[in-house]
Structure 1
Amino acid sequence: MRRRRAALGVLVSLLALTSCGTETGAGSGGAVRTELPVTGIRWGVDSVTVDGKRTAAPADAHVEIDAKGRASGNYGCNLFTADVRVEGETFTVGPATSTERGCEKDVQRFETVMSRAFSGELTAAVADRKLTLTSADGDSIALTSQPPAPLTGTTWTVTALVSGSVASSLPAGAEGKAWIVFGEDGSVQGSFGCNGFRGHGTVSGSTITFDSVDSTKMMCPDPRMKLERAVLAVLDGKTTYRIDHRSLSLTAENGEGLGASATEKTRTGETRGTAG
């Protein structure tokens, strides 16, 4: 009789755990107890509102939360990690650890408000692809889920230039001027930063070989011409490419390269400034 009672007690305990739907993580006791679809998703930060002032987010700002109670992401320039407990609609974010990169002043200001807002106890609301996190003081973070970007059909806007292992920002006044779109048929079009171009790129594994790239011949201000020369040097011959969610890196055989980010707006079919 005692064995039967003990067995019954074990069965009841197993049933209770199964119906709970709780995922408990390792580390410092982080846990996820929620029906909100928030884990395993890359959430791009749209804006942060602190003390009633809304600040738009840099393109790289994002947050990811795993089922083990860990948040990681980018404040806009610096990477961060933090323990997070998600219970129902309540997020409790612990102290964060972040890198210490030097950032542009505007980005640094955003990082300050973002790190302040993404801490402590927050209330979550999910609607469609949108997530809003709000503190008791009314500060809030607006986020949108970001599906991984495919190589083809995506507008890749150049955000950085790379020489060897060193990345640098674009020349002042040239931000957002260079972009690339790869077509399913192997076509490539876009802007070097000043002149538009069309050509062909053969994709094989992790490499893209560019050929037959023709461009317009306009003269533009020095910052845009400097960007153009750098991008043109990369889109020439064989390059190695890598996609990290919504970021693309292209590296030529001589070590020169560029970084680009996926943008929502498609420019496929846009004719202004492209080579005929």
Structure 2
Amino acid sequence: MTKQQQTSTVTGTGVAATAVTALALLLLSACGTESGSGSGADARSVSGTDDTSLTETLRNAKGLNGVKGTVWDIDSVTVDGKKTTPVDGARMRVDPDGTFRSSPDCNLRTAGEVTVKGDTLDVGDDQGMSTLMQCPDEERPFADAFDKVFSGKLTARTEAVPGRSGATRDAEDAEDAEDAKTDTKRVTLTAPGGDEIVLTRQTPQPLVGTVWTVDEVVDSVIEHGDTEGSLPAGTEGKASLTLRKGADGAGGTVEGSDGCNTFRGPVKISEATNKITFGPLRTTRKACPKPEMALQERFEKVLKGEIEYELSHNRLKLLAGNGLGMGAGPAA
């Protein structure tokens, strides 16, 4: 299925809720049509003026590893004493502005207003929005249990647990790797009747030092819209890149593989403007099969001059001025 970015703008507060397809490729994704319920659904969560520790734990507005917001694994849901776990992974994302998005199944739910005060999280009566895909039957029990518990007033208990990080680093990035080992958070949400949702926060991947495995191509030229698609058949898992900053912090390098040939060259990274400037890349010149050649050509068109990047927790998107780009995730 062609992966395609969808955006729904919620009226009332002017907050935009964005759902990006392909759950396996993006942090929280789904495809289908979004529909809102309730009056004035605004998709805004974690409201209130008090900057409590729970609020910061959920929103991560200050940022970690250069990434703001949080992504949580939905580890389990317990209803009437019966514990249920997800079939193929489930996620909840809380944006820095407090928007909650959850995927207990193949659909993406964007919550209405959620208020945090002290150690209490009030989901409220607004059902928010959801995509409308027909999910596999085996996903339904967990999703139904989650939807039942994630409503009304919930008491949150927070504890520290070992960090979850998928980044791969070389010895020269030992300091960054050590930072990634710091404890993360686990939050248990408990309903008045004792039902529970257990969430564990994923450690966001830093732009620099992470081995990014390219797993999708992007074409955002006007006539095609903003679309994302699969790599050429047979090239999956073969292409990657790693960015490093120089000793002075101003310059840096990039190295990796385009799926057939390896490359290395200078870069300048501006995290303030989300721009990367690529200098001339030195590459090997090995002859490649046609699919690998197609991916290599994509690398040559994207990793050239100044380009934009988007870093979203454990997803990196590179987009050149010509509208071509690539998406990547941390190496397994």
TM over 0.5: yes
Deviation, structure 1 residue 218:
6.5
Percentage of identical aligned residues: 25
Output the TM-score relative to the length of structure 1.
Answer: 0.61
Note the aligned Cα RMSD (angstroms). 4.3
Q: What residue is the counterpart of 1:20 in the other structure?
A: none
TM-score, structure 2 normalization: 0.53
* Structure 1 position 131 matched with structure 2 position 186: yes
State the alpha-carbon separation in 2 of the partners of residues 236 and 40 from structure 1.
35
Residue in 2 that maps onto 1:274: none
Q: Counterpart amino acid of 2:282?
A: V
Q: In the alignment, which residue of structure 1 is the partner of 2:114?
A: 84
Number of aligned pairs? Answer: 230
Please say if residues 254 and 266 of structure 2, whose CA atoms lie closer than 8 Å, have aligned partners that are also in contact: yes
2:73 aligns to what?
Answer: 46
Once the 2 structures are TM-superposed, how far is the Cα of residue 137 of structure 1 from its aligned partner?
A: 6.7
- After superposition, give the CA deviation of every residue in 1:223-246 in whole Å (9 maximum; x if it has no partner): x66544433431234423343455
1:117 partnered with 2:146: yes
Residue aligning to 1:233: 301
8 Å Cα contact 1:190-1:196 kept in structure 2: yes
Residue of structure 2 in register with 1:188 after alignment: 254
CA contact (8 A) 1:208 1:241 kept: no
Query: Which residue of structure 1 aligns with residue 239 of structure 2?
Result: 178
Alpha carbons of structure 1 residues 197 and 29: separation in structure 2 relative to 1, 3 Å: closer
Decide whether aligned partners of structure 1 residues 210 and 227 sit closer, same or farther in structure 2, where only a CA change above 3 A counts: same
Query: Which residue is 1:255 aligned to?
Result: 323
Structure 1 CA distance for aligned equivalents of residues 141 and 239 of structure 2: 29
Return the alpha-carbon distance in structure 1 between the equivalents of residues 298 and 141 of structure 2: 32
Deviations 1:79-136 (A, max 9, x none): 7233223344443323443363879x68x98799568526215443322222233455
The structure that is strand-richer by fraction is: 1
Secondary structure in 1 matching 2:299: helix
AA in 2 matched with 1:125: R
- Local SS of the residue matching 1:211: coil
Distance 1:52 1:144 in 2: 19
Please give the per-residue CA displacement for 1:234-264, whole angstroms capped at 9, x wherever unaligned: 1234423343455433222321112234x38
Tell me, in whole angstroms, the C-alpha distance in 2 between the residues paired with 1:141 and 1:221. Answer: 47
Shift of 1:220: 6.2
1:200, 1:213 within 8 Å by CA — same for their partners in 2?
A: no
Q: 1:81 to 1:191 in 2, by over 3 A?
A: farther
- Find the structure with the greater CA-based Rg: 1
Q: Give the letter for the 1:40 counterpart.
A: R
Q: Which residue of 1 aligns with 2:14?
A: none
2:201 is aligned to 144
Higher normalized contact order (CA 8 Å, seq sep 6+, divided by chain length): 2
Partner secondary structure for residue 152 of structure 1: coil
Are 2:307 and 2:318, in contact at CA under 8 Å, matched by a contact in 1? Answer: yes
195 and 45 in structure 1: CA distance in 2 versus 1, 3 angstrom threshold: farther
The answer (yes or no) to whether the contact 1:46–1:56 under 8 Å persists in 2 is: no
Separation in structure 2 between the aligned mates of residue 46 and residue 29 of structure 1, nearest angstrom: 19
Does 2:282 match 1:213? yes
Equivalent position SS for 2:208: coil
Structure 1, residues 183-218: CA drift from partner, whole Å, max 9, x if none?
113221123244443233244652422412314637
Distance 1:28 1:80, change over 3 A: closer
Secondary structure of the residue that 1:54 maps to in structure 2? coil
**For residues 131-187 of structure 1, what are the alpha-carbon distances to aligned partners after superposition, in whole Å with 9 as ceiling and x for unaligned?**
23345575534221545x543223333343211242223236655443221111322
Gaps of 5+ in 2: 1-43, 61-68, 78-82, 161-183, 247-251
Amino acid at match of 2:99: A
Q: Quote the Cα distance in structure 2 between the aligned partners of 1:123 and 1:63.
A: 18
Q: How far did 1:55 drift?
A: 3.9
CA distance in 1, matches of 2:264, 2:93: 36
CA contact (8 A) 1:32 1:85 kept: no
